[in-house]
Amino acid sequence: MTTKLDLDPTLVRRARALAARAGQPVVDLARSHTTAAVERAVLRLAGITGADPDGIPWVNRLVDAVAGDVGLGYGVALPVWHALAREGLETEKPVGGADVTLLAQKAAAGSIRFVLPTGRDATAATRAARRAVGAGIKQIDRRRTERERLVKRLGNPKQRPWIYLIVATGDIYEDIPQAQAAARAGADVIAVIRSTGQSLLDYVPEGATREGFAGTYATQENFRLMRAALDESSKELGRYVRLTNYASGLCMPEIATLAGLERLDMMLNDSMYGILFRDINPIRTFVDQRFSRQIHARAGIIINTGEDNYLTTADAVEAAHTVTVSQLLNEYFAHEAGLADWQLGIGHAFEINPDLPESFRLELAHALLARELFPDAPLKWMPPTKHMTGDVFRGNLLDGFFNLVGTMTGQGILLVGMMTEAVATPWLSDRDIALQNVRYVLNAAGGLHEDFVPAPGGFIQRRAHQVLDEAIDLLERIVDTEPDARRHAGGGMLEAIADGTFGIMKRPATGGKGLDGVARHEEGYCNPATEILESAT
């Protein structure tokens, strides 16, 4: 098949094969380990809710108690449902996880001791756990069906790319009217970014929140409130408005689960973002990521990957091939977890220094390469941030160039750039000007991507070929790297991350936050959620 870049299909297949070889040891690692966050997500599917007077969720208290008595290597399902039966707390049809929540409260008070059941007790506990966790997965299935019905009735946005706009004041009750105003002004996707530092909290706060710095806390109640508000806006506008949040950090699996239960539509979910930019342990991240993506696959959620972040620390030209490598790895990990191509909002960004000669042509080459490598993925095109100087007039022009590249290369999801980026939290008027910029470019350019074809053998084609060649060279080096016996298994990928290959951040496999929450599977490990999710795929 001829492409606009005239990419060699043999090289493209080789790049994907190398990404699979590089990623397979990481998948093997994820399949043989669990984490405190994965086990908490299992219990959240069973309906556990609430927090103690100090604000620590009961699910944390319960998992900590199980880990203290029998460890995490067997999973929490067997000891928890055995304890429920032993204490007479298990009901045939638990309402809102009340039985598991009560068990957590007893465990926190020190009145319950957990043991690993065997024989018939283990069989009964497995059956009960699967029934309770399965009820949560059925709820996710219902929410997915609900979305599909609403999209069919209300319709999708008429144009592509979808316009993606961030609204996050810290106060969910202030976010709601701002999000609804943004939808009326033309936004198709509303992103409520998380409060700074929430990635490093090893628990998910409970309830609606009114305090947050540079974002709003991701909680189940905040998800519910914003989804309900955007449903109202969807009916008012006659198009389905999508909601995005972040499934990353130390609670990635839990937040993914809560998003599925509350019908979010997109989630930021990158395989390496937490490792590189939040110093979260690589093994913890990869194990959590796989489970979270299995939930996203089941929920019909589109993931957004975070390659744009690499270019805020590394040079966007010199490191362009590392973005391509990460995109290929994200695709492999996503497919392995059950995500379809239409759910892959593969990330890339407009971050080349605008003072560099031919910067616009370079941006076109990089964007078109991503588009042609992942033809069936929506792609998420990110605006300039690194080189925004505070000059709002220059910034608005730069965003216009970004929007033009987006429409010329057929991107699927376009995050609205702000001329006040890196200066202040945008006012509603800033967002309105930014949306005017997007609308003007998309309306004026129309289907320009159908007509735009770079010159054969010209600058854009040559640059795209160079980036792909460099990406293949890097993947070959990763695959050929023998894992150090002193480090955890994971092959050359963990070595590459430790060496600062991505985003110039060096993150060793034995470092970072959250490693103490990782456990290797013991013989007899039981996770009913993973069993149900994998049986479906």
- In this prediction, residue 489 carries a pLDDT of 62
Burial of 325 (0-12, 13-18, 19+ CB in 10 A): buried
Q: Is residue 280 within 8 Å of 199, Cβ to Cβ? A: yes
- In this prediction, residue 49 carries a pLDDT of 93
- Locate tokens 């609403």: which residue? 150
Q: What is the dihedral of CA 516, 518, 524, 530, to 10 degrees?
A: 150
Task: Give the DSSP letter of residue 418.
Answer: -
Sequence length of the chain is 537
CB-based contacts of 139-148 (< 8 A; 24+ apart in sequence): 139/261, 140/257, 140/260, 140/261, 140/295, 140/298, 140/299, 141/298, 143/260, 143/261, 143/262, 143/263, 143/299, 144/260, 144/263, 144/298, 144/299, 144/300, 146/263, 147/240, 147/263, 147/265, 147/300, 148/300
Pairing status of strand 347-349 against strand 344-345: unpaired
Each residue of 510-535: pLDDT tens digit?
999 999 999 999 999 999 999 999 99
- In this prediction, residue 1 carries a pLDDT of 45
Cα–Cα distance, 178 to 184 (Å, whole number): 10
The least confident of 34-43, 239-248, 280-289, 306-315 is: 306-315
pLDDT top residue among 537 and 409: 409
Cα–Cα distance, 191 to 259 (Å, whole number): 13
User: 203 an active-site residue?
Assistant: no
**For 239-263, b where at least 16 C-beta lie within 10 A, e where not — what string?**
bbbbbbbbbbbbbbbbbbbbbbbbb
Going by pLDDT thresholds of 50, 70 and 90, the confidence category of residue 485 is very low
Cα–Cα distance, 249 to 283 (Å, whole number): 12
Going by pLDDT thresholds of 50, 70 and 90, the confidence category of residue 204 is very high
Percent of the chain surpassing pLDDT 90? 82
Q: Is residue 474 within 8 Å of 322, Cβ to Cβ? A: yes
Point out the catalytic residue in the list 240, 265, 332, 380. 380
User: 499 an active-site residue?
Assistant: no
- In this prediction, residue 505 carries a pLDDT of 86
Mean pLDDT in the chain?
Answer: 93
Going by pLDDT thresholds of 50, 70 and 90, the confidence category of residue 273 is confident
Point out the catalytic residue in the list 99, 188, 270, 308. 308
Point out the catalytic residue in the list 203, 240, 246, 273. 273
Domains annotated for the chain, with CATH where assigned, are: 34-134 (no CATH), 253-451 (3.20.20.440)
Is the pLDDT assigned to residue 348 strictly greater than 70? Answer: yes
User: 310 an active-site residue?
Assistant: no
